[in-house]
């Protein structure tokens, strides 16, 4: 496969740092030092889901946490709260103002801080709101392939998943399908539509026209829209995120938007998300559920620091992901040319079409069994994900090269 393999033990098994492997034709640069060094010695000391799910000989590249060191202002904010013994129940503090400033500066959106709510996390916020606005057994529309908790959290809440798949487009692209959406919204008992923008896993950032088309259809059927915009801070150069609330449309004014600093600044363990109501009715739903939606107080502190003081760190992450996605394109062309990869418009998740590898419905199972690299299984995102796998590229170029090397090793020659 064209890899220069040095003699000696595999340093990934021993917890060594850096990649011992260099592809022959593709140059691998180091990670931006602002983001740490992503050494496996340090990463394997982490006890998070990513680093404790698999044995040490497996390189984890599945769950959506990045390998970068946290931003200094976030560490300072958490340290200051600990030093002050400020570990009580959460108070929203300046979270609304901080997010509104970030949204105005970076997303062209000026939400009213009074309509911004601290929540424990995005999925709990969505689940609570869905339970508030639909009856038990009510239908909720989603667009597979899509983030797997959209299926199981809503089923757990006793709701019925109604699927309006994304439409495959030329060159491995995907589009929202307003006609398909129109058809399923006409079904009896459909009470909400959950839109993902930017979309996980396909990495699309929907255009204003696409969002207006979706808003039109939902408005016609009188179905409220919930929008998950958690990946918006990570929109990559060349794309523009359009916040749903910036649409001049009645469906947008009634929508509730969910976001967080957790993906952009890599702090999901601190448990603080944000829900933004479009009007007083949405705000009342969120206010009534305050006790079911308690954030972590440390997460509130960290999120305020992220939105206000850690924007240079975010910029470094965006630049790193952009360069990583270009690297991945080159590595796949060199070592796994049968894998189809269209660069995402946002975030650090690469949606890989592995169908030509003929590894069956779940190529990730083969990658982990034979190559000792853990990707997210495509079928977890819905039946449209059969033959696909999702690779996390929120890491160093060296570890991306290592992940591709392991995938190639798992693939029949
Ligand atoms: C689209 C999307 N929504 C929600 C989440 C989870 O967010 P939270 O941890 O705030 O529930 C993720 C995590 O990867 C995600 O990709």
> How does DSSP classify residue 112?
-
CA 117 and chain centroid, separation: 20
Note down pLDDT in tens along the chain; length 413 residues.
455 443 333 444 433 444 456 677 788 888 999 999 999 999 999 999 999 999 999 999 999 999 999 999 999 999 999 999 999 999 999 999 999 999 999 999 999 999 999 999 999 999 999 999 999 999 999 999 999 999 999 999 999 999 999 999 999 999 999 999 999 999 999 999 999 999 999 999 999 999 999 999 999 999 999 999 999 999 999 999 999 999 999 999 999 999 999 999 999 999 999 999 999 999 999 999 999 999 999 999 999 999 999 999 999 999 999 999 999 999 999 999 999 999 999 999 999 999 999 999 999 999 999 999 999 999 999 999 999 999 999 999 999 999 999 999 999 87
> How does DSSP classify residue 236?
P
CA 313 and chain centroid, separation: 18
Say what the pLDDT of residue 21 is: 60
Cα 43 from Cα 45, distance rounded (Å): 5
Q: How are strands ordered across the β-sheet holding 340-341?
A: 340-341, 349-353, 388-392, 376-377
Residue nearest to atom 7 of ligand 1 (CA): 122
pTM for the model stands at 0.95
- Of all helices (H) and strands (E), which one includes residue 390? strand 388-392
Yes or no: say if 243 and 107 are a contact pair by the CB < 8 Å rule.
yes
373-374 and 59-60: which strand pairing? parallel
Q: Is the CB of 118 under 6 A from ligand 1?
A: no
Q: Which residues contact 73 (CB under 8 A, 6 or more apart)?
A: 305, 306, 308, 309, 310, 313
Cα 374 from Cα 356, distance rounded (Å): 19
Say what the pLDDT of residue 9 is: 35
Query: What is the 148 CA–ligand 1 centroid distance (Å)?
Result: 10
CA distances from 320 to 68, 93, 268, 407 (A): 10, 32, 20, 22
Tell which one of 63, 268, 382 to mutate to probe ligand 1, the residue whose CB is within 8 A of the most ligand atoms.
268
Q: Is the CB of 147 under 6 A from ligand 1?
A: yes
Q: Is the CB of 121 under 6 A from ligand 1?
A: yes
Nearest residue to 351 (alpha-carbon basis) of 406, 395, 392? 392
Query: What is the 146 CA–ligand 1 centroid distance (Å)?
Result: 11
Say what the pLDDT of residue 18 is: 44
Say what the pLDDT of residue 22 is: 66
Residue nearest to atom 13 of ligand 1 (CA): 64
Q: Is the CB of 366 under 6 A from ligand 1?
A: no
Distance in Å from the first CA to the final CA of the chain: 9
Q: Is the CB of 200 under 6 A from ligand 1?
A: yes
Please identify which residue in the block is written with the tokens 């497996």. Answer: 58
Angle formed by the axes of helices 122-133 and 280-288, nearest 10°: 110
User: 197 is written with which tokens?
Assistant: 């923008």
Yes or no: say if 299 and 271 are a contact pair by the CB < 8 Å rule.
yes
Neighbours of 58 (CB within 10 A): 19
Q: Is the CB of 224 under 6 A from ligand 1?
A: no
CA distances from 226 to 66, 158, 277, 368 (A): 26, 17, 10, 35
């Amino acid at each position: 496969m064209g890899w220069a393999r040095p003699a000696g033990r595999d340093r990934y098994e021993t917890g060594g740092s850096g990649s011992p492997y260099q592809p022959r034709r593709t140059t691998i640069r180091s990670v931006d030092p602002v983001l740490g060094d992503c050494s496996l010695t340090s990463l394997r000391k982490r006890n998070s889901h990513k680093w404790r799910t698999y044995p040490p000989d497996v390189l984890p590249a599945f769950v959506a946490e990045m390998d970068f060191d946290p931003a200094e202002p976030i560490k300072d904010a958490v340290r200051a709260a600990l030093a002050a013994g400020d570990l009580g129940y959460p108070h929203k503090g300046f979270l609304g103002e901080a997010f509104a400033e970030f949204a105005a500066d970076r997303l062209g959106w000026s939400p009213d801080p009074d309509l911004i709510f601290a929540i424990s996390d995005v999925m709990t916020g969505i689940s609570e709101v869905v339970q508030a606005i639909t009856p038990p057994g009510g239908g909720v529309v989603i667009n597979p392939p899509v983030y797997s908790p959209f299926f199981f959290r809503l089923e757990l809440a006793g709701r019925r998943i109604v699927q309006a798949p994304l439409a495959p487009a030329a060159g491995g692209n995907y589009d929202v399908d307003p006609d398909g959406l129109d058809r399923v919204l006409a079904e009896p008992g459909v009470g909400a539509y959950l839109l993902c923008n930017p979309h996980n896993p396909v990495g699309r950032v929907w255009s204003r026209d696409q969002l207006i088309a979706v808003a039109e259809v939902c408005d016609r059927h009188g179905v409220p829209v919930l929008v998950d915009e958690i990946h918006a801070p990570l929109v990559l150069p060349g794309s523009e995120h359009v916040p749903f609330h910036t649409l001049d449309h009645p469906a947008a004014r009634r929508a509730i938007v969910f976001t967080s600093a957790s993906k952009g600044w890599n702090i999901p363990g601190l448990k603080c998300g944000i829900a933004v109501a479009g009007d007083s009715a949405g705000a009342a739903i969120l206010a009534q559920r305050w006790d079911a939606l308690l954030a972590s107080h440390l997460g509130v502190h960290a999120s305020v620091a992220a939105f206000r003081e850690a924007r240079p760190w975010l910029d470094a992450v965006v630049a790193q992901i952009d360069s990583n996605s270009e690297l991945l394109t080159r590595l796949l062309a060199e070592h796994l040319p049968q894998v189809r990869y269209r660069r995402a418009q946002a975030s650090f998740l690469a949606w890989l079409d592995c169908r030509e590898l003929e590894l069956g419905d779940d190529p990730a199972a083969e990658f982990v069994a034979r190559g000792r690299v853990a990707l997210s299984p495509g079928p977890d995102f819905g039946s449209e994900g059969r033959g696909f796998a999702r690779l996390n590229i929120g890491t160093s170029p060296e570890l991306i090269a290592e992940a591709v090397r392991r995938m190639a090793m798992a693939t029949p020659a």
